[in-house]
Amino acid sequence: MITRRKTVMGVAVSAGIVMGRAQVVLPGYTKVAEVPITTSRIKSEQRALDRAVEETVQEIEELRDSAAQRLGAQVASVFEAQLLIASDKSFLDEVKNRIGIFRRNAGFVYNSLVQETTHKLKHSVDPYMQAMGEEIEGVSNRVLSHLSGYRERSTVRFKGDRIMVGKSFTPGEVLSYRNRKAVGFLAGEGGANSHMALIARSLMTPMLIVDDIWSQVQNNCRIIVDGTDGRAIINPSDEEWSEYQRKKKRQGPALLTRIKKLTKIPPTTSDGRVINVSANLELPGPVDDILAAQKFPVGLYRTEFLYLNSDGFPDEDQQFEYYDRIASKYEDSYVVLRTFDLGSDKVRFDGDIGPRETNPALGWRGIRLMLEMTDIFKTQLRAILRASTRGNVRILLPMITELEELQKARRIVSQVKFSLRRAGIRFDEDIPVGIMVEVPSAALTAHRLALDADFVSIGTNDLTQYTMSADRGNSRVMSLYNSFHPSVLSLIQMTIVACQQAGTPLSICGEMAGDPLALPLFIGMGVSDLSMNPAKIFDSCRLISKIDFNLVKHLVGPVLSSHSSAGVMRKLQNYRNALEKK
Partner 1 sequence: MITRTAKIVNRFGLHARPSAMLVSTATKFSSEVFFTKDDLRVNGKSIMGVMMLAAEKGTELLVEVNGPDEEEAVVAIVRVIETGFGEKS
Q: Give the whole-angstrom CA distance, residue 103 versus residue 350.
A: 46
Q: Can 485 be counted among the known catalytic residues?
A: no
- By the rule CB under 8 A, 126 interacts with partner 1: yes
Q: Which of 52, 99, 106, 136 touches partner 1 by CB under 8 A?
A: 136
- By the rule CB under 8 A, 115 interacts with partner 1: no
Catalytic annotation, pick one of 146, 485, 499, 509 = 509
- Kindly state the helix (H) or strand (E) to which residue 18 belongs, with its residue range: strand 17-25
Catalytic annotation, pick one of 146, 195, 499, 541 = 195
- By the rule CB under 8 A, 321 interacts with partner 1: no
- By the rule CB under 8 A, 570 interacts with partner 1: no
**Interface segment toward partner 1; rule CB under 8 A; list 26-34, 113-121, 325-333, 456-464:** 113-121
- By the rule CB under 8 A, 88 interacts with partner 1: yes
CB atoms within 10 A of CB 83: 16
Strands (E), 44-161: none
What string of H, E and C letters represents the secondary structure of 371-429?
Answer: HHCHHHHHHHHHHHHHCCCCCCEEEEECCCCCHHHHHHHHHHHHHHHHHHHHCCCCCCC
Which positions ≥6 away from 421 have C-beta within 8 Å?
none
Q: Which of 348, 411, 421, 570 touches partner 1 by CB under 8 A?
A: 348
CB of 120 to partner 1, least distance (A): 6
CB of 265 to partner 1, least distance (A): 45
CB of 343 to partner 1, least distance (A): 18
CB atoms within 10 A of CB 396: 28
DSSP 353-374: --SPPS-GGGSSBHHHHHHHSH
Spell out, one character per residue from 91 to 110, where the chain touches partner 1: x when CB under 8 A holds, - when not. Answer: x-------------------
Kindly list the distances between the CA atom of residue 150 and the CA atoms of 52, 57, 82, 143, 154, in Å, as whole numbers in the listed order.
10, 16, 21, 10, 9
Q: Which of 315, 345, 402, 429 touches partner 1 by CB under 8 A?
A: 315
**Interface segment toward partner 1; rule CB under 8 A; list 77-85, 141-149, 360-368, 550-558:** 77-85
Query: Cβ closer to partner 1: 239 or 375?
Result: 375
Q: Which of 8, 15, 75, 85 touches partner 1 by CB under 8 A?
A: 85
3-state secondary structure of 222: strand
Q: Give the whole-angstrom CA distance, residue 193 versus residue 202.
A: 12
CB of 135 to partner 1, least distance (A): 6
Q: Strand pairing partners for 164?
A: 23, 185
Spell out, one character per residue from 272 to 311, where the chain touches partner 1: x when CB under 8 A holds, - when not. Answer: --------------------------------------xx
CB of 518 to partner 1, least distance (A): 42
Q: Give the whole-angstrom CA distance, residue 81 versus residue 128.
A: 14
Q: What is the largest CA-CA distance in the chain?
A: 87
Q: Can 541 be counted among the known catalytic residues?
A: no
Q: Give the whole-angstrom CA distance, residue 90 versus residue 95.
A: 9
- Active-site positions read 195, 509
- Chain residues binding partner 1 by CB under 8 A are 80-81, 84-85, 88-91, 117, 120-121, 124, 126, 128-129, 131-132, 135-136, 310-313, 315, 348, 350
